[in-house]
Amino acid sequence: MNQTDWICTSCPRQCGVDRTLAKGYCQAPHQPEVASICVHKGEEPPICGTKGICNIFFAHCNLHCCFCQNYQISGVHVDESCLYYRGLEAVCDRVEEVLAQTENIIGFVSPAHYSYCVPQIVEELHRRGCFPTVVYNTNGYDSVESLKMVAPYVDVYLPDFKYMDSSLAATLSHAADYPEVAQKALLEMYSQKGSGLPTDDDGLAYRGIIIRHLILPGQVDNSLRVLDWMADNLSLNLHISLMSQYTPIFGAEGDAGGQVPEYLLRTITQEEYDRVVDHFYELGFHRGWVQEFSSQQHYVPQFSNREAFESE
């Protein structure tokens, strides 16, 4: 392998560090570190069915959102006790074990900083005789180059579209360029997969895109602008997952390296929820899922456990 292959340009931050010797913004080493590989039944129905999806929760992240529910594994300082798998072989061994309990679907969660590992893992699983549907579950802060690289290995994209407000993105996720970057990433995903989400006889998706947006307290205008951009630039036929599950995560603040603004110290209100949901339908979106208003406490993982969603 050429020495330049180790220089990290995996995500839009373009740190340019040699991750075999040093760490960039995400603080991840070159070899993958994974916190949990487990059955998860809380994803959208077409990607988890009744048996669930095998989710690979990569440690570290290229955003460090100050409100992240996965702060135990995504912050600047990741607790060693939450890291259960290191290296390709260990990851694939565990995936092979868990995959048999699921709908034969695998999810790469927060993969941007380890995008180069996705082809390696998928090819190794194929070598072992495992051919799962592959879901790329990303925060939306992805480079177009990385998306083109993983395209032959990804069946379903599951991106977030968090912000249209650059100042909000800077305050909460240390990424003022998030709107511009995410828009380019979504356009690339859309060019690869189109607007459809075809499913098999069991209702399980085997191709397409599902775009998620989390409604944040006090930030309705941001959510409305996110929906407006998707309506104007993508397609009203896309499957959108509108989420109301935001809950204050006490502990994320320090580990993510930023003070949580006061407006994030509460859940969203019924009025905020209704305004965003009404706008969703007014624009003409008609495919996807609108999370129930009372979802705040249902989706918080515990990565100190090897099975992060043991209560499911």
Using CA atoms, how far apart are residues 277 and 57, in angstroms rounded to an integer? Answer: 29
pLDDT at 256 over 70: no
**How far apart (Å, rounded) are the C-alpha atoms in residues 177 and 175?**
5
136-159 tens-digit pLDDT: 999 999 999 999 999 999 999 999
Confidence class of residue 301 from pLDDT cuts 50, 70 and 90? low
> In this predicted structure, what is the pLDDT of residue 3?
40
> Does the pLDDT value for residue 255 go beyond 50?
no
pLDDT value for 257: 46
The whole-angstrom separation of Cα 96 and Cα 196 is: 29
CA gap 305, 312 in Å, rounded: 13
Comparing 121 with 27, which gets the higher pLDDT?
A: 121
Residue 88 has pLDDT above 50, yes or no: yes
Tell me the H-state helices in 6-152. Answer: 45-48, 71-74, 88-99, 117-127, 144-150
Kindly indicate the confidence band of residue 293, based on its pLDDT and cuts at 50, 70 and 90. confident
pLDDT at residue 312 greater than cutoff 90: no
State the alpha helices, DSSP H only, in the chain: 45-48, 71-74, 88-99, 117-127, 144-150, 166-173, 178-193, 220-233, 252-255, 270-283
pLDDT at residue 266 greater than cutoff 80? yes
Give the pLDDT confidence score for residue 2 in this predicted structure: 40
pLDDT on residue 1:
36
| Average pLDDT in the chain | 90
Q: What is the percentage of the chain residues whose pLDDT exceeds 90?
A: 71
Q: Which pLDDT band holds residue 29 (cuts at 50, 70, 90)? A: confident
Residues 210-230: pLDDT tens digits? Answer: 999 999 999 999 999 999 999
What is residue 6's predicted lDDT score, i.e. its pLDDT? 66
User: 141 and 163 in contact (C-beta within 8 Å)?
Assistant: no
Q: How confident is the model at residue 310 (pLDDT cuts 50, 70, 90)?
A: low
Kindly report, residue by residue over 50-61, the tens digit of the pLDDT.
Answer: 999 999 999 999
pLDDT band, very low/low/confident/very high, at 81 (cuts 50, 70, 90): confident
Write the secondary structure of 5-29 as one string of H (helix), E (strand) and C (coil). Answer: HHECCCCCCCCCCECCCCCCCCCCC
Paired with 190 in beta bridges are none
pLDDT-derived band at 306, boundaries 50, 70, 90: low
CA 107 to chain centre: 9
Would the pTM of this model clear 0.85, i.e. be above it? yes
> For 110-136, what is the mean pLDDT?
97
Q: What is the pLDDT of residue 124?
A: 98
**Dist CA 155 CA 153 (whole Å):** 7
pLDDT (tens digit per residue) in 274-288? 999 999 999 999 999
For 304, residues 6+ apart whose C-beta sits below 8 A from its C-beta are 72, 79, 81, 82
In this prediction, residue 202 has a pLDDT band, given cuts at 50, 70 and 90, of very high
34-56 core/surface letters (b: 16 or more CB in 10 A; e: else): bbbbbbbeebbebbbbebbbbbb
If pLDDT is split at 50, 70 and 90, which confidence band does 299 have?
A: low
Both tokens assigned to 166: 């650059």
103: left (phi over 0), alpha (psi -120 to 50) or beta: alpha
DSSP state of 30: S
